[in-house]
Amino acid sequence: MSATEVRELRASDRTRDLGPVPCTPLLDAVRGLEEAAWSQSNYRQESFNVHKSTLSIVLCFIDLDRWPSLEVVREAGWDQLGESARPVMDSIIARGYPAGGIVIRAMAVRLPAGARITPHVDEHESLRVSHRIHLPLVTNPRVRFFIDGVPHRFEPGRAVEVNNQLSHSVMNDGQTARVHFIFDYLPPAGLAGPSLAKSVAER
Protein backbone atom coordinates (compact mmCIF):
# COMPACT_ATOMS: atom_id res chain seq x y z
CA MET A 1 0.00 0.00 0.00
CA SER A 2 1.61 3.26 -1.15
CA ALA A 3 1.09 6.77 0.14
CA THR A 4 -1.12 7.55 -2.84
CA GLU A 5 -3.43 4.65 -1.90
CA VAL A 6 -3.94 5.83 1.70
CA ARG A 7 -6.59 8.51 1.89
CA GLU A 8 -6.78 11.21 4.55
CA LEU A 9 -8.60 10.55 7.80
CA ARG A 10 -11.74 12.69 7.70
CA ALA A 11 -13.32 14.17 10.83
CA SER A 12 -16.23 11.73 10.52
CA ASP A 13 -14.02 8.66 10.03
CA ARG A 14 -13.38 6.38 12.98
CA THR A 15 -10.21 4.81 11.58
CA ARG A 16 -7.93 4.79 8.56
CA ASP A 17 -6.33 1.53 7.48
CA LEU A 18 -2.58 1.92 6.87
CA GLY A 19 -1.95 -1.66 5.83
CA PRO A 20 0.36 -4.44 6.99
CA VAL A 21 3.72 -3.41 8.44
CA PRO A 22 6.79 -5.65 8.86
CA CYS A 23 7.33 -5.56 12.62
CA THR A 24 8.86 -8.86 13.70
CA PRO A 25 12.00 -7.24 15.18
CA LEU A 26 9.83 -4.86 17.23
CA LEU A 27 7.60 -7.69 18.41
CA ASP A 28 10.65 -9.74 19.39
CA ALA A 29 12.13 -6.78 21.26
CA VAL A 30 8.88 -6.25 23.19
CA ARG A 31 8.65 -9.93 24.05
CA GLY A 32 12.24 -9.88 25.25
CA LEU A 33 11.68 -7.11 27.79
CA GLU A 34 11.98 -7.91 31.46
CA GLU A 35 8.77 -7.42 33.41
CA ALA A 36 10.30 -4.57 35.41
CA ALA A 37 10.67 -2.51 32.23
CA TRP A 38 6.91 -2.05 32.09
CA SER A 39 6.97 -0.19 35.41
CA GLN A 40 9.83 2.21 34.71
CA SER A 41 7.55 5.05 33.57
CA ASN A 42 4.23 5.79 35.25
CA TYR A 43 3.81 9.33 33.93
CA ARG A 44 1.04 8.41 31.49
CA GLN A 45 -0.89 6.41 34.07
CA GLU A 46 -0.56 9.12 36.73
CA SER A 47 -1.34 12.03 34.41
CA PHE A 48 -4.26 10.50 32.53
CA ASN A 49 -6.72 8.64 34.72
CA VAL A 50 -8.26 6.73 31.81
CA HIS A 51 -4.90 4.98 31.29
CA LYS A 52 -4.39 3.93 34.91
CA SER A 53 -4.91 0.24 34.06
CA THR A 54 -2.22 0.22 31.36
CA LEU A 55 1.54 -0.30 31.46
CA SER A 56 3.85 1.60 29.12
CA ILE A 57 7.31 1.54 27.63
CA VAL A 58 7.76 5.18 26.62
CA LEU A 59 10.26 5.86 23.83
CA CYS A 60 9.71 9.59 23.50
CA PHE A 61 7.29 12.21 24.76
CA ILE A 62 6.77 15.94 24.42
CA ASP A 63 6.85 18.29 27.37
CA LEU A 64 3.18 19.23 27.60
CA ASP A 65 3.91 22.15 29.91
CA ARG A 66 5.97 23.84 27.19
CA TRP A 67 3.48 23.38 24.36
CA PRO A 68 3.30 24.80 21.69
CA SER A 69 7.09 24.73 21.88
CA LEU A 70 8.12 21.28 20.72
CA GLU A 71 10.54 19.64 23.09
CA VAL A 72 10.63 15.92 22.34
CA VAL A 73 12.58 13.97 24.92
CA ARG A 74 13.86 10.43 24.57
CA GLU A 75 12.87 8.26 27.50
CA ALA A 76 14.36 4.98 28.77
CA GLY A 77 12.24 3.02 26.32
CA TRP A 78 14.21 4.40 23.40
CA ASP A 79 17.26 2.37 24.43
CA GLN A 80 15.07 -0.71 24.75
CA LEU A 81 12.92 -0.46 21.61
CA GLY A 82 14.14 2.46 19.51
CA GLU A 83 16.31 0.46 17.12
CA SER A 84 13.43 -1.81 16.13
CA ALA A 85 10.67 0.82 16.38
CA ARG A 86 12.22 3.47 14.17
CA PRO A 87 12.01 1.51 10.88
CA VAL A 88 8.38 0.72 11.69
CA MET A 89 7.52 4.39 12.19
CA ASP A 90 9.48 5.42 9.10
CA SER A 91 7.62 2.87 6.98
CA ILE A 92 4.18 3.97 8.18
CA ILE A 93 4.95 7.67 7.76
CA ALA A 94 6.37 7.16 4.26
CA ARG A 95 3.25 5.40 3.03
CA GLY A 96 0.61 7.70 4.47
CA TYR A 97 1.86 11.12 5.55
CA PRO A 98 3.84 14.14 4.32
CA ALA A 99 7.56 13.94 5.00
CA GLY A 100 9.28 16.48 7.21
CA GLY A 101 7.12 16.20 10.32
CA ILE A 102 8.05 14.93 13.77
CA VAL A 103 7.11 12.03 16.01
CA ILE A 104 6.03 13.70 19.23
CA ARG A 105 5.14 10.54 21.18
CA ALA A 106 5.99 6.87 20.85
CA MET A 107 5.32 4.03 23.24
CA ALA A 108 4.45 0.37 23.63
CA VAL A 109 1.28 0.04 25.72
CA ARG A 110 0.09 -3.11 27.44
CA LEU A 111 -3.50 -3.57 28.56
CA PRO A 112 -3.64 -6.57 30.92
CA ALA A 113 -6.24 -9.30 30.70
CA GLY A 114 -9.52 -8.12 32.19
CA ALA A 115 -8.56 -4.44 32.11
CA ARG A 116 -10.33 -1.55 30.41
CA ILE A 117 -9.68 1.96 29.16
CA THR A 118 -12.80 4.01 29.82
CA PRO A 119 -14.44 6.23 27.15
CA HIS A 120 -12.61 9.50 26.52
CA VAL A 121 -11.56 12.01 23.89
CA ASP A 122 -7.91 13.08 23.62
CA GLU A 123 -8.16 16.76 24.53
CA HIS A 124 -4.67 18.24 24.56
CA GLU A 125 -3.97 20.44 21.54
CA SER A 126 -0.94 18.32 20.59
CA LEU A 127 -3.28 15.33 20.27
CA ARG A 128 -5.74 17.22 18.13
CA VAL A 129 -3.19 18.35 15.55
CA SER A 130 -1.18 15.12 15.27
CA HIS A 131 -2.04 11.70 13.84
CA ARG A 132 -2.55 8.90 16.41
CA ILE A 133 -1.28 5.65 14.91
CA HIS A 134 -1.71 2.18 16.42
CA LEU A 135 0.20 -0.93 15.43
CA PRO A 136 -1.21 -3.97 17.27
CA LEU A 137 1.56 -6.38 18.25
CA VAL A 138 -0.25 -8.81 20.56
CA THR A 139 -4.00 -9.21 20.93
CA ASN A 140 -6.72 -11.79 21.48
CA PRO A 141 -10.25 -12.37 20.12
CA ARG A 142 -11.90 -10.80 23.16
CA VAL A 143 -10.28 -7.37 22.79
CA ARG A 144 -12.59 -4.65 21.50
CA PHE A 145 -11.61 -1.07 20.63
CA PHE A 146 -14.71 1.12 20.64
CA ILE A 147 -14.73 4.33 18.61
CA ASP A 148 -17.86 6.47 18.67
CA GLY A 149 -19.66 3.47 20.16
CA VAL A 150 -18.67 1.11 17.34
CA PRO A 151 -16.54 -1.96 18.24
CA HIS A 152 -13.39 -2.69 16.24
CA ARG A 153 -11.02 -5.65 16.20
CA PHE A 154 -7.55 -4.65 15.05
CA GLU A 155 -5.30 -7.18 13.37
CA PRO A 156 -1.74 -7.74 14.65
CA GLY A 157 0.87 -6.30 12.30
CA ARG A 158 -1.60 -4.01 10.52
CA ALA A 159 -1.31 -0.29 11.28
CA VAL A 160 -4.35 1.92 11.73
CA GLU A 161 -4.84 5.61 12.39
CA VAL A 162 -7.45 6.16 15.10
CA ASN A 163 -9.65 9.24 15.25
CA ASN A 164 -8.89 10.27 18.82
CA GLN A 165 -11.30 13.21 18.55
CA LEU A 166 -14.19 10.76 18.76
CA SER A 167 -15.01 9.07 22.05
CA HIS A 168 -12.99 5.86 22.30
CA SER A 169 -12.40 3.08 24.80
CA VAL A 170 -10.91 -0.41 25.00
CA MET A 171 -11.88 -3.56 26.84
CA ASN A 172 -9.79 -6.68 27.13
CA ASP A 173 -12.04 -9.52 28.23
CA GLY A 174 -9.51 -12.12 27.15
CA GLN A 175 -7.06 -14.21 29.15
CA THR A 176 -3.93 -12.54 27.76
CA ALA A 177 -2.62 -9.00 27.53
CA ARG A 178 -3.04 -6.71 24.55
CA VAL A 179 0.08 -4.82 23.40
CA HIS A 180 -0.01 -1.97 20.87
CA PHE A 181 2.83 0.19 19.60
CA ILE A 182 1.43 3.72 19.45
CA PHE A 183 2.91 6.92 18.09
CA ASP A 184 1.77 10.45 17.26
CA TYR A 185 3.03 12.07 14.07
CA LEU A 186 2.84 15.84 13.70
CA PRO A 187 3.05 16.68 9.98
CA PRO A 188 4.96 19.71 8.66
CA ALA A 189 1.80 21.83 8.49
CA GLY A 190 1.36 21.41 12.24
CA LEU A 191 4.82 22.51 13.27
CA ALA A 192 4.98 25.82 15.13
CA GLY A 193 8.24 26.72 13.41
CA PRO A 194 11.52 25.14 12.32
CA SER A 195 13.40 26.44 15.36
CA LEU A 196 10.90 24.78 17.70
CA ALA A 197 10.72 21.40 16.00
CA LYS A 198 13.38 19.20 17.55
CA SER A 199 13.32 15.79 15.97
CA VAL A 200 13.92 12.64 17.95
CA ALA A 201 16.58 11.88 15.35
CA GLU A 202 18.57 14.91 16.49
CA ARG A 203 18.64 13.87 20.16
List pLDDT tens digits, range 7-30. 678 888 999 999 999 999 999 999
Measured distance CA(159)–CA(181) in Å, rounded: 9
Q: What is the mean pLDDT of residues 81-99?
A: 96
Measured distance CA(94)–CA(102) in Å, rounded: 12
Q: Which fold has domain 24-188?
A: Jelly Rolls (2.60.120)
Measured distance CA(177)–CA(115) in Å, rounded: 9
Q: Where are the domains of the chain?
A: 24-188
pLDDT one-digit tens code per residue, 105-132? 999 999 999 999 999 999 888 988 999 9
SS3 content of the chain, % helix, strand, coil (to 5): 30, 35, 40
Q: Quick check: 103 pLDDT over 70?
A: yes
Measured in whole angstroms, the distance separating CA 34 from the mean position of its chain's CA atoms is 21
Q: Name 159's bridge partners.
A: 19
Q: What is the mean pLDDT of residues 154-165?
A: 97
Measured distance CA(132)–CA(184) in Å, rounded: 5
| % of the chain residues with pLDDT over 90 | 70
Whole-structure pTM value: 0.88
Contact call for residues 83 and 11 (beta carbons, < 8 A): no
Measured distance CA(56)–CA(41) in Å, rounded: 7
Q: Element (H or E) spanning 160, and its range?
A: strand 158-162
